[in-house]
């Protein structure tokens, strides 16, 4: 029996990352989570503990994951942190944390995975954001990190296309996840007030809701399948139309 395809998921203990792990595991893939804390992964999956804010840590984590998995067919860069606040008040420490986790980690995990993905003609899916394709007031550092992910995705897709490796980014809006709850706790001044303010920006009006991690995971899953062979270098929105443009308000 041939060995199953294998996926490495950074941020595998987070809301989106854990949903991605479950989706691939349910389809019979070998899965490895890479996160700063040990992940509660599905049975038979692997977990690597690593702080992905340095290139060396990224290289070591990928090597460890490949040793456990035996091969690598897909990388999903889902590790991410949020920061909001006035640009003038953002400290260098805050800025470095957001850039290092969201952009630097994505870059160097991808770089370390390239030789393994070339041998399987695999793919990379990066988690960007609506904030990676449009500006979000009060979140300039986060936008800088995710904007970097979005354009990095396009550049890497062009670089790797001749080698048979596809690279895409998924750009969710607000996802009902621990990160969103942390945003409300740390910046919201009241959870419901924070959620109401976010949902007011969606074109669905009173029918607006947040995206679920499973919805994002399903999108990521599709992008790693043969049916998505023509899709590379794309920043793909899953945001209920949040980033589509300006819409009339009542």
pLDDT in tens, 150-207: 999 999 999 999 999 999 999 999 999 888 888 888 887 778 888 988 999 999 999 9
The answer, yes or no, to whether residue 247 has pLDDT greater than 90, is no
State residue 231's pLDDT score: 98
Nearest to 25 by CA among 101, 76, 60: 76
Nearest to 178 by CA among 6, 35, 23, 7: 35
Question: Per-residue b/e over 221-244, b at no fewer than 16 CB within 10 Å?
Answer: bebbeeebeeebbbbbbbbbebbe
Distance (Å, whole) CA 15 – CA 125? 16
Distance (Å, whole) CA 70 – CA 210? 37
The answer, yes or no, to whether residue 17 has pLDDT greater than 60, is yes
State residue 187's pLDDT score: 82
State residue 211's pLDDT score: 97
Q: Which CATH architecture has domain 6-175+213-236?
A: 3-Layer(aba) Sandwich (3.40)
Please compute Rg for the chain using Cα positions.
18
State residue 1's pLDDT score: 45
What is the average pLDDT score of the chain? 94
DSSP state of 100: I
Distance (Å, whole) CA 142 – CA 129? 9
User: Could you tell me the pLDDT band of residue 248, with boundaries at 50, 70 and 90?
Assistant: low
pLDDT digits (tens, 9 = 90+) for 211-238: 999 999 999 999 999 999 999 999 999 9
Residues in the chain: 250
pLDDT digits (tens, 9 = 90+) for 56-70: 999 999 999 999 999
Cβ-contact 216, 236 below 8 angstroms: no
208-212 average pLDDT score: 95
> Where are the domain boundaries for CATH 3.40.50.720 in the chain?
6-175+213-236
Question: Per-residue b/e over 157-174, b at no fewer than 16 CB within 10 Å?
Answer: beebeeeebbbbbbbbbb
Lowest average pLDDT, out of 35-44, 76-85, 127-136, goes to 35-44
The answer, yes or no, to whether residue 249 has pLDDT greater than 80, is no
Positions marked catalytic = 142
Q: What does the block give as tokens for 149?
A: 């992910």
**Widest pairwise Cα distance in the chain:** 60
């Amino acid at each position: 029996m041939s060995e199953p395809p294998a996926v490495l998921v950074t941020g595998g203990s987070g809301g989106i990352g854990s949903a991605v792990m479950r989706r691939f595991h349910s389809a019979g893939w070998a899965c490895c989570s890479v996160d700063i804390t040990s992940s509660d992964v599905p049975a038979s999956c692997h977990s690597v503990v690593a702080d992905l804010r340095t290139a060396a840590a990224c290289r070591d984590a990928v090597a460890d994951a490949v040793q456990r998995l035996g091969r690598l067919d897909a990388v999903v860069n889902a590790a991410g942190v949020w920061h909001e606040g006035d640009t003038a008040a953002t400290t260098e420490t805050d800025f470095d944390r957001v850039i290092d986790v969201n952009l630097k980690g994505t870059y160097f995990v991808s770089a370390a995975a390239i030789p393994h993905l070339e041998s399987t003609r695999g793919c990379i899916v990066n988690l960007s954001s609506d904030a990676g394709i449009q500006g979000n007031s009060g979140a300039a550092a986060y936008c800088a990190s995710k904007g970097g992910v979005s354009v990095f995705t396009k550049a890497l897709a062009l670089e790797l296309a001749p080698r048979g490796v596809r690279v895409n980014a998924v750009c969710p809006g607000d996802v009902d996840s621990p990160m969103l709850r942390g945003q409300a706790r740390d910046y919201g001044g009241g959870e419901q007030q924070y959620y109401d303010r976010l949902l007011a920006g969606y074109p669905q009006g009173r029918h607006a809701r947040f995206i679920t991690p499973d919805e994002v995971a399903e999108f990521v899953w599709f992008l790693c399948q043969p049916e998505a062979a023509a899709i590379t270098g794309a920043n793909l929105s899953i945001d209920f139309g949040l980033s589509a443009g300006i819409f009339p308000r009542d």
